[in-house]
């Protein structure tokens, strides 16, 4: 006879696996846009997954999405703070601030589109992601959570750990900065 606790754990694990598989690619892209470093982005997503499973697996499944993005955004902010310290030490030690890796060059082309369409799609995607990467961290976080994840202002505020007013300000500034680019690639 199966142990009920083991069965429940197995069921939770299966649902968590499905949930993480569903969000991991977006999470990675969000982290990549913020860090512009593939390895750093992978570490951030891994930390977010680990913390979600460790601390919030027992929560209702409906809460996993906002909790995961809250953890992810916190990990990205932590990375940003560590990068500032790292850059300071690199300046002290006479090194360079950034590695200069271009993560968007690592993205393979689609195999389903015609060459012209593929080039146009890739150009538009790259342009948007590059423009997002130029925005301040909080602005592009607000933009991605609102536009990509479809979160409303309250959910975005919860995920970012700030007030709804701050979310509106960050999002508004991001939209103003990106509007021309988004309309250009219509």
Partner 1 sequence: MSERDELDPATMQRARARLEQGAERLNVYTVQRLAQARAAALNGERTPRTSRSWLLPALGTAVAAALVVSVTLQVMHKPDVAAIDVATLDMELLTSDDDLELYQDLEFYTWLDDEHESG
Q: How far apart are CA 80 and CA 140, in angstroms?
A: 13
Q: Pick from 39, 63, 102, 152: which binds partner 1 (CB under 8 A)?
A: 39
Q: Based on CB atoms, which residue is closest to partner 1, 160 or 167?
A: 167
Q: Exposure of 49 by Cβ count < 10 A (0-12 exposed, 13-18 middle, 19+ buried)?
A: buried
Question: Percent helix, strand, coil in the chain (nearest 5)?
Answer: 80, 0, 20
What is 106-137 written as a DSSP string? GPPPPSSS-HHHHHHHHHHHHHHHHHHHHS-H
Helix (H, G, I), strand (E, B) or coil at 186: coil
Which residue among 49, 71, 159, 160 contacts partner 1 (CB under 8 A)? 49
109 binds partner 1 (CB under 8 A): yes
Q: Cβ closer to partner 1: 54 or 58?
A: 54
The binding site for partner 1 (CB under 8 A) comprises 13, 16-17, 20-21, 24-26, 28-29, 37-40, 42-43, 45-47, 49-50, 52-54, 82-83, 85-86, 89-90, 92-93, 99, 106-110, 121, 124-125, 128-129, 144, 147-148, 150, 168, 171-172, 175-176, 178-179, 182-183, 185-186
């Amino acid at each position: 006879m199966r142990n009920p606790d083991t069965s429940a754990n197995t069921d939770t694990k299966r649902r968590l696996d499905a949930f993480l598989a569903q969000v991991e690619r977006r999470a990675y892209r969000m982290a990549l846009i913020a860090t512009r470093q593939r390895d750093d982005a992978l570490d951030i997503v891994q930390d977010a997954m680990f913390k979600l499973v460790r601390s919030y697996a027992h929560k209702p499944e409906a809460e996993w999405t906002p909790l995961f993005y809250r953890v992810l955004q916190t990990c990205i902010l932590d990375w940003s703070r560590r990068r500032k310290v790292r850059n300071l030490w690199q300046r002290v030690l006479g090194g360079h601030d950034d590695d200069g890796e271009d993560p968007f060059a690592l993205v393979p082309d689609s195999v389903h589109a015609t060459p012209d369409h593929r080039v146009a799609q890739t150009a538009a995607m790259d342009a948007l992601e590059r423009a997002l990467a130029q925005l301040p961290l909080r602005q592009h976080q607000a933009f991605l959570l609102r536009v990509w994840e479809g979160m409303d202002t309250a959910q975005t505020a919860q995920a970012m750990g700030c007030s709804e007013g701050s979310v509106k300000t960050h999002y508004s500034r991001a939209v103003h900065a990106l509007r021309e680019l988004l309309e250009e690639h219509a």
